[in-house]
């Protein structure tokens, strides 16, 4: 959300530094850059200087959200019952409570619910998007620099997290069918069909350790879940980037290596090969 706030402000790092100084705050460019690269909570005084520099007159909702995340005191939300995957269940993990805290903050700060219109950074020119029919399409997602590798079911290579996650594996290996479902005019969910019972799970970015930023299938799909919707935009002819709804992060590969077994991970968008994919549409039945 801090990255999204910078995009909405339209300011560069230098502009943020100057804006903070004009309000009597200290916000060095290097400090702001470090804060935006990391996923840990910033200090309260740094958060205050940053959001005020971005044009937020009342930083209290941001500070309250920071306090809730730091202490773990957030409102509970009910879990959706798990549905079986082929080796591990697809579930809604406890990170949902953190998502709820961020959603509440978004409503307080920006005054809009996090639907696809609210999280769309409308100030940025719209790139060419992957053409999809309104009903959605079955597809396979290939690594652009290794077309024989597809984004499909894999495992965490660190062995810290056991359930299925999205990773590169040979396209000919058995795995879930992939369905790209449009959400509004610009966004898409990535759905996996269970190969046995045909149940559906939406690829969702995890927000907690030990699977922080990895993508796993959840049996509960929601069009207003910013961790489940992506803007599939053309990075160069025939190649696409899966950009998170907030706009500042993209789906890449852990470690930046385009290789078999590399896990998909949400990371800052960059002009790198590990964030480029090709999409082949497949027949409805096989």
Q: How far is CA 170 from CA 83, 162, 196, 244, in A?
A: 26, 20, 20, 25
104 with 151, same domain: the answer is no
> Which residue segment(s) compose the domain that 57 sits in?
2-110
The pLDDT assigned to 181 comes to 95
151 with 69, same domain: the answer is no
Q: How many domains is the chain built from?
A: 2
190 with 69, same domain: the answer is no
224 with 169, same domain: the answer is yes
Confidence check: pLDDT of 139 > 90: yes
pTM of the model: 0.60
Confidence check: pLDDT of 93 > 80: no
Tens of pLDDT along 8-35? 898 999 889 989 888 888 899 888 988 8
The pLDDT assigned to 97 comes to 42
Name residue, tokens 């549409």.
281
Angle, nearest 10°, between helix axes 13-22 and 44-53? 100
272 with 200, same domain: the answer is yes
DSSP string, 67-124: HHHHHT-----PPPPPEE-SSSEE---TTHHHHHHHHHHHHHHHSS--STTTTS-TTS
In a domain, 125, yes or no: no
Residue that finishes a domain, picked among 110, 127, 154: 110
Confidence check: pLDDT of 104 > 80: no
The pLDDT assigned to 40 comes to 77
In a domain, 82, yes or no: yes
154 with 43, same domain: the answer is no
Q: Which range, 39-48, 79-88, 251-260, is most confident?
A: 251-260
């Amino acid at each position: 959300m801090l990255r999204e706030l910078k995009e909405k402000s339209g300011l560069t790092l230098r502009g943020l530094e100057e804006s903070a100084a004009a309000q009597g705050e200290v916000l060095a460019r290097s400090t702001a850059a470090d804060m935006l690269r990391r996923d840990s909570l910033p200090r309260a005084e740094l958060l205050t200087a940053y959001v005020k520099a971005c044009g937020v007159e009342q930083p209290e909702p941001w500070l309250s959200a920071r306090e809730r995340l730091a202490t773990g005191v957030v409102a509970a939300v009910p879990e959706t019952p798990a549905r079986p995957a082929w080796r591990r269940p697809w579930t809604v993990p406890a990170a949902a409570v953190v998502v709820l805290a961020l959603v509440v903050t978004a409503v307080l700060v920006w005054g809009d619910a996090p639907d696809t219109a609210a999280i769309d950074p409308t100030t940025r020119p719209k790139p060419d998007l992957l053409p999809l029919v309104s009903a959605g399409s079955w597809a396979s997602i290939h690594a652009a620099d290794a077309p024989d590798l597809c984004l499909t079911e894999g495992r965490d290579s660190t062995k810290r997290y056991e359930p299925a996650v999205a990773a590169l594996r040979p396209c000919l290996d058995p795995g879930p069918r992939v369905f790209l479902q449009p959400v509004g005019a610009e966004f898409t969910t990535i759905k996996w069909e269970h190969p046995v019972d045909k149940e559906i799970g939406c690829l969702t970015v995890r927000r907690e350790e030990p699977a922080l930023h990895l993508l796993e299938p959840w049996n509960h799909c929601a069009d207003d879940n910013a961790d489940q919707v992506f803007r599939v935009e053309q990075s160069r002819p025939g190649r696409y980037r899966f950009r998170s709804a907030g706009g500042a992060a993209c789906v890449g590969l852990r470690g930046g290596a385009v290789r078999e077994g590399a896990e998909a991970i949400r990371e800052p968008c960059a002009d790198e090969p590990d964030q480029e994919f090709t999409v082949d549409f497949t027949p409805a039945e096989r």
